[in-house]
Amino acid sequence: MNTAVNSSRILSVCVAKPKIIDYGRRQVATSIFKQPVTGKIPLRKLNLEGDEQADLTVHGGPDKAVYIYPSEHYPWWRQEMPDVEFDFGKFGENLTTEGLLEDKVCIGDQFQMGTAIVQVSQPRLPCYKLGIRFGRTDIIKKFVQSCRNGIYFSVVQEGELSIGDSITYLRSDEHKISVKDVARLFTGQTIDQDFVQRALHSNLAGQMKMFIAGL
Choose the weakest-confidence range: 56-65, 100-109, 206-215: 206-215
Instruction: Decide if pLDDT at 81 tops 90.
Output: yes
Stretch 176-205: mean pLDDT: 78
Query: What proportion of the chain, given as a percentage, has pLDDT over 90?
Result: 68
Cβ 160 vs Cβ 39: under 8 Å: no
Tell me, yes or no, whether 33 lies in a domain: yes
The chain-wide mean pLDDT, for the chain, equals 89
Instruction: Decide if pLDDT at 163 tops 70.
Output: yes
What's the confidence (pLDDT) of residue 97? 98
DSSP letter, residue 55: -
CATH classification at residue 63: 2.40.33.20
What's the confidence (pLDDT) of residue 6? 63
Its sign, for the CA torsion 31, 150, 132, 211, is: negative
In the chain, count H helices and then E strands. Answer: 6, 12
* Total number of domains constituting the chain: 1
What's the confidence (pLDDT) of residue 204? 76
pLDDT, tens digit (0-9, with 9 covering 90-100), for 54-72: 876 667 789 999 999 999 9
Report the DSSP pairing between strands 35-36 and 159-161.
Answer: unpaired
Nearest to 122 by CA among 70, 177, 192, 48: 177
Count other Cβ atoms within 10 Å, centred on residue 154. 20
Tell me, yes or no, whether 166 lies in a domain: yes
Instruction: Decide if pLDDT at 146 tops 70.
Output: yes
Structural domain containing residue 12 = 3-174
Which comes out higher in pLDDT, residue 206 or 181?
181
pLDDT-derived band at 162 (thresholds 50, 70, 90) equals very high
pTM for this one?
0.90
Tell me, yes or no, whether 122 lies in a domain: yes
Which comes out higher in pLDDT, residue 119 or 59?
119
pLDDT-derived band at 88 (thresholds 50, 70, 90) equals very high
Tell me, yes or no, whether 34 lies in a domain: yes
pLDDT, tens digit (0-9, with 9 covering 90-100), for 5-53: 668 999 999 999 999 998 888 899 999 999 999 999 999 999 999 999 8
* Total number of residues shown for the chain: 215
Tell me, yes or no, whether 199 lies in a domain: no
